[in-house]
Amino acid sequence: MKSRQHGFTMIELIVVIVILGILAAVALPRFTNMQGDARAAKLNAARGAVQAASGMIHGTVLVRGGVADAAACPGTAVTANNTSTVCTENGIISIVNGYPTANLPGIIDAAGLTSIFPATAAALTTEGYSITGGGAAANSVLTIQVNGGATPANCSFTYSPSNGGAGAAVISGVTTTGC
pLDDT band at 146 (very low <50, low <70, confident <90, very high): very high
pLDDT band at 47 (very low <50, low <70, confident <90, very high): very high
**pTM value surpassing 0.95:** no
pLDDT at 89: 80
Which three-class secondary structure state does DSSP give residue 58?
helix
pLDDT at 8: 78
Domain spans in the chain, listed from the N-terminal domain onward? 36-171
Distance CA 151, CA 177 (A): 8
104/2: higher pLDDT:
104
pLDDT at 86: 83
Helices and strands in the chain: count of H runs, count of E runs: 3, 7
Distance CA 22, CA 117 (A): 48
Host H or E run for residue 132: strand 129-133
Residue 28: pLDDT above 80?
A: no
